[in-house]
Amino acid sequence: MSKEKNILHLNDGEKILGIVRRSFVSELFKIIFVCIWILLPFFFFFPLLRLGLFGFFLFAILAVGGLLYAFKIWMNLSYTMLIVTSQRVIDVEHHGLFDRDIAEAGLSSVSSVKVLKRNIFQRIINIGTVKVKTKKSDKFDIEIDGVRKPQTVRQFVEDVKELSSKYEIRN
């Protein structure tokens, strides 16, 4: 939970109730691609070395590029999350190595939570997108895709919202 505390600052009396991250299965094709990308230069290591210094630099560029892309995928999977606290719903999205967007909505302003499964692959492995709409906007303000068991996440957010309004937890 140290990652989450470094990303956001909790209000007084606010507690983290749940953290939802993207599933690695949602990025499976990218993971397979980056594994091939990293292994491919090693497969051609000796033919590349026969090219001399150019071959060595080509090997290094391919290997380091694959490692950087793997690191980017890991960052996106590790730091893209939906955090539900006792007062807010917070969406943290990582788009690159250093690009991070944080959107939040108070539980009292949440009007609806929607689940979207776009294709048969997502239906089979039970992965989908969770969208949170606020009363202030017609569009969905908070969205996280690639979530395992999205119906459970939707129900959790709705339950926390209901409990916060029932016990008048202030934002």
Residues 64 and 89 both lie in one domain: no
Residues 68 and 145 both lie in one domain: no
How many domains does the chain fold into? Answer: 2
Name which residue leads in pLDDT, 126 or 2. 126
The verdict on residue 170 lying in a domain is no
- What pTM was computed for the model? 0.77
Domain that holds residue 146: 2-22+80-165
Would you tell me how many other CB atoms lie within 10 Å of the CB of residue 14? 15
Say how far apart CA 93 and CA 78 lie, in whole Å.
10
Residues 54 and 13 both lie in one domain: no
Per-residue pLDDT, 171: 45
The verdict on residue 49 lying in a domain is yes
Residues 41 and 10 both lie in one domain: no
The verdict on residue 38 lying in a domain is yes
The model's confidence at residue 144, banded by pLDDT at 50, 70 and 90, is: confident
Question: pLDDT tens digits, residue range 8-33?
Answer: 777 787 888 888 898 888 888 999 99
